[in-house]
């Protein structure tokens, strides 16, 4: 007989919305500390794995929320937030719920920690009671988000203990955990010496099998790759002497058309350096050729609800590491160092690890690890006396994530291909070490028409597919031009068979000679009755920021062409699309548009921001940004 809700032990639910993994890591820390403090039941869940209609049944919930771009919520929060904003939910809907919110953001952005602030206010307005005031983590802090998380957690546990001592009876253990006691890993690895029928001919199934076993990916429900594409073009767009390397890639399915539309994005699962994978396996004393399956502790398979039993068939250990564990680019989390300290046999290394994971060593850990972008392999090689069991490595190594890129081609023109515009990422750390982006560097190293296959998924981007009859104002400096190359290419194809509305395109780069991406493409469409031509009501306006003493940016070109922009907005009901860097550009472009509306359009200064907000709500002003 099932127990009634009153008979069940009170639990603490920790819900997180994460895009890069930081919020998930912070949420798991909240869960660990609650368990150490004696909380009888703790559930840590991604927000998209929790039914928001069940929220009133809960008693204690902690929310950990990251921020995307210009104050947007992570993808995993969007449906949850949509439910919370229903008008049918009354002011007492969450009466009896105690909650706390911690946000992760960057104070250099205008809408700093916006999702966390909105969530905190909405929960309060629905009748829930705060356990403590919201915490706001800041990437600009000398310790990153943990600079705010550490003191916030101390207040949270004290407040929760005062609210309900039985929920957190051992508060001292939560605040001052005994780091000499190692708990159990959450997963177990089962080894097979000679499994039967392990040959997999379909690489799609192999990828899905491996990633379905990963505890860090278990809630993503990725499924097998939709496409396995081959690179047929790898062309550098920037000049060879430029310090920026931007590439045009063409990926192809030679046997069937690819189903996508302009505005979509392509997610790619990159390959890690095979020699680095071998080095990791050797460093950890693992057998690369043995076969494994991975289960949650207690025997439950991690791929709950999977429709294919074959997904949990054994897989070679080396294959699992290569396809799921990011040992070559992602930095390990703080908990990784904490667990390492248990297994360090060298006294000096153990003391250093214990210091780095202590409150006193928090800043040093941040600078050693995140700022220097140390990889799991590098950290393990430096702390050579540490030999962590594979179960812990599986649990704690950051997952190998898919990377997303805006599609820069139209399926009307290239039904069997997808084009990408990719900046090959590299940077220097504070200690002058050169780091390279995993996926972009891997793609740049592929030779066209070789046998290498690229696992890909298509997902709907945040730039809606425009109808041919809708006029467009496109603003995409740098690689922000990628989706708009697709828009222009598609509209040109549509114009052959039907009437199409005009397009204004604003592009910006440093120099006309070095990084005018797709120069010939834009110029061709801006002449001879092309979709960007003045004859068709369109226009191409390019800002070269470094070609004259005074820097010129896309926002300056928008002001120069204010009359054209205003006419498109007011007379033709155009849609504005903005894509590119998530730093200052979107705010500067918005300010320029507001200035045009105010000074040339006659919109009162006090009303112009509201007017722009109205455009956004009506889907007429759409921004897609990335870091």
324-345 residue pLDDT tens = 999 999 999 999 999 999 999 9
pLDDT of residue 309 exceeding 50, the answer is no
- Do the annotations mark residue 97 as ligand-binding? no
- Do the annotations mark residue 22 as ligand-binding? yes
Q: Under CATH, which number does the domain 472-626 receive?
A: 3.40.50.80
- Do the annotations mark residue 51 as ligand-binding? no
- Do the annotations mark residue 482 as ligand-binding? no
Give residue 200's pLDDT band: very low, low, confident or very high (50, 70, 90).
low
pLDDT of residue 129 exceeding 50, the answer is yes
pLDDT of residue 301 exceeding 60, the answer is no
What's the mean pLDDT in 171-183?
75
- Do the annotations mark residue 163 as ligand-binding? no
- Do the annotations mark residue 104 as ligand-binding? yes
pLDDT of residue 180: 66
Give residue 303's pLDDT band: very low, low, confident or very high (50, 70, 90).
very low
User: Rounded CA gap, 116 and 190, in Å?
Assistant: 40
What's the mean pLDDT in 588-612?
88
- Do the annotations mark residue 554 as ligand-binding? yes
- Do the annotations mark residue 172 as ligand-binding? no
DSSP 201: -
Lowest mean pLDDT among 183-187, 285-289, 506-510: 183-187
Q: Is 472-626 in the same CATH topology as 12-175?
A: yes
DSSP 399: B
The whole-chain average pLDDT of the chain stands at: 89
pLDDT of residue 231 exceeding 90, the answer is yes
pLDDT of residue 106 exceeding 50, the answer is yes
- Do the annotations mark residue 108 as ligand-binding? yes
Lowest mean pLDDT among 164-178, 271-285, 355-369: 164-178
Lowest mean pLDDT among 129-143, 209-223, 539-553: 209-223
Q: Which residue has the higher pLDDT, 125 or 106?
A: 125
Query: Residue 33: which residues within 8 A CB-CB, separation 6 or more?
Result: 153, 157, 174, 177
- Do the annotations mark residue 551 as ligand-binding? yes
Helix residue ranges, H only, 472-541: 482-494, 519-525
- Do the annotations mark residue 23 as ligand-binding? yes
- Do the annotations mark residue 438 as ligand-binding? yes
- Do the annotations mark residue 18 as ligand-binding? yes
Give residue 310's pLDDT band: very low, low, confident or very high (50, 70, 90).
very low
- Do the annotations mark residue 238 as ligand-binding? no
User: Rounded CA gap, 112 and 105, in Å?
Assistant: 6
Return the closest-CA partner of residue 382 out of 357, 352, 358, 362. Answer: 352
Q: What percent of the chain has pLDDT over 70?
A: 93
pTM for the model: 0.89
Q: Which tokens is 538 given? A: 């369109």
- Do the annotations mark residue 106 as ligand-binding? yes
User: Rounded CA gap, 572 and 565, in Å?
Assistant: 10
Give residue 57's pLDDT band: very low, low, confident or very high (50, 70, 90).
very high
DSSP 332: P
Residue at token pair 């730039």 = 463
In CATH, 12-175 is 2.60.40.10:
no
Domain coordinates in residue numbering, the chain? 12-175, 334-396, 472-626
- The fold for domain 334-396 equals NADPH-cytochrome p450 Reductase; Chain A, domain 3 (1.20.990)
Give residue 5's pLDDT band: very low, low, confident or very high (50, 70, 90).
very low
Q: Which helix (H) or strand (E) holds 335?
A: helix 334-343
Give residue 392's pLDDT band: very low, low, confident or very high (50, 70, 90).
very high
pLDDT of residue 88 exceeding 50, the answer is yes
312-316, 361-365, 407-411, 600-604: which has the highest mean pLDDT? 407-411
pLDDT of residue 581: 82
- Do the annotations mark residue 19 as ligand-binding? yes
What's the mean pLDDT in 61-65?
97
């Amino acid at each position: 007989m099932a127990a009634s809700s009153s008979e069940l032990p009170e639990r603490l639910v920790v819900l997180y919305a994460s895009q890069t993994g930081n919020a998930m890591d912070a949420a798991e820390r909240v869960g660990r500390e609650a368990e150490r403090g004696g909380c009888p039941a703790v559930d840590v869940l991604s927000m998209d794995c929790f039914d928001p209609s069940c929220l009133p049944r809960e008693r204690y919930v902690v929310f950990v929320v990251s921020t995307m771009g210009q104050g947007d919520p992570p993808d995993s929060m969007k449906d949850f937030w949509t439910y919370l904003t229903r008008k049918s939910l009354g002011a007492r809907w969450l009466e009896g719920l105690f909650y706390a919110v911690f946000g992760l953001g960057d104070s250099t952005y205008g809408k700093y920690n916006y999702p966390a602030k909105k969530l905190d206010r909405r929960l309060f307005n629905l009748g829930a009671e705060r356990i403590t005031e919201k915490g706001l983590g800041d990437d600009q802090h000398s310790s990153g988000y943990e600079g705010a998380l550490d003191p916030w957690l101390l207040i949270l546990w004290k407040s929760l203990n005062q609210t309900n001592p039985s929920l957190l009876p051992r508060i001292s253990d939560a605040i001052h955990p005994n780091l000499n006691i190692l708990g159990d890993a959450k997963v177990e690895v089962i080894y097979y010496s000679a499994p039967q029928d392990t040959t997999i001919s379909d690489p799609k199934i192999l990828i899905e099998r491996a990633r379905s076993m990963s505890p860090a990916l278990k809630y993503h429900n990725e499924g097998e790759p939709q496409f396995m594409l081959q690179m047929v073009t790898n062309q550098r767009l920037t000049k060879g002497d430029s310090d920026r390397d931007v590439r045009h890639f063409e990926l192809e399915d030679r046997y069937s058309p690819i189903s996508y539309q302009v505005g979509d994005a392509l997610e790619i699962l990159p390959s890690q350096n095979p020699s680095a994978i071998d080095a990791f396996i050797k460093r950890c004393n693992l057998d690369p050729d043995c076969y494994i399956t991975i289960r949650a502790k207690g025997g439950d398979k991690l791929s709950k609800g999977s429709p294919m039993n074959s997904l949990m068939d054994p897989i070679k250990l080396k294959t699992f590491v290569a396809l799921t564990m990011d040992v070559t680019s992602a930095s390990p989390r703080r908990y990784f160092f904490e667990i390492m300290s248990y297994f360090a046999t060298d006294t000096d290394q153990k003391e250093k690890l214990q210091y780095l994971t202590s409150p006193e060593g928090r800043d040093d850990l941040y600078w050693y690890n995140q700022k220097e972008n140390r990889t799991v392999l590098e950290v393990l090689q430096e702390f050579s006396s540490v030999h962590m069991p594979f179960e812990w490595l599986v649990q704690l190594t950051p997952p190998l994530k898919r990377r997303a890129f805006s599609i820069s081609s139209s399926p009307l023109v290239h039904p069997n291909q997808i084009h990408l515009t990719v900046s090959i990422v590299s940077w220097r750390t504070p200690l002058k070490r050169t780091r390279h982006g995993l996926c972009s560097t891997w793609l740049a190293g592929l030779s066209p028409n070789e046998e290498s296959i690229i696992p890909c998924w298509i997902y709907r981007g945040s730039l809606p597919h425009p109808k041919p009859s809708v006029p467009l104002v496109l603003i995409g400096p740098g690689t922000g031009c990628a989706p708009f190359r697709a828009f222009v290419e598609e509209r040109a194809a549509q114009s052959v068979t039907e009437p199409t509305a005009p397009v204004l395109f604003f592009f910006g780069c440093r120099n006309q000679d070095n990084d005018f991406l797709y120069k010939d493409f834009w110029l061709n469409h801006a002449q001879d009755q092309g979709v960007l031509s003045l004859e068709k009501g369109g226009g191409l306006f390019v800002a070269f920021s470094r070609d004259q003493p005074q820097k010129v940016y896309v926002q300056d070109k928008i002001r120069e062409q204010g009359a054209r922009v205003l006419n498109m907005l007011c007379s033709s009901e155009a849609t504005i699309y903005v894509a590119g860097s998530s730093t200052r550009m979107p705010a500067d472009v918005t300010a320029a548009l507001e200035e045009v509306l105010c000074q040339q359009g006659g919109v009162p200064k006090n009303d112009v921001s509201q007017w722009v907000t109205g455009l956004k709500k009506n889907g007429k002003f759409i921004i897609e940004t990335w870091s």
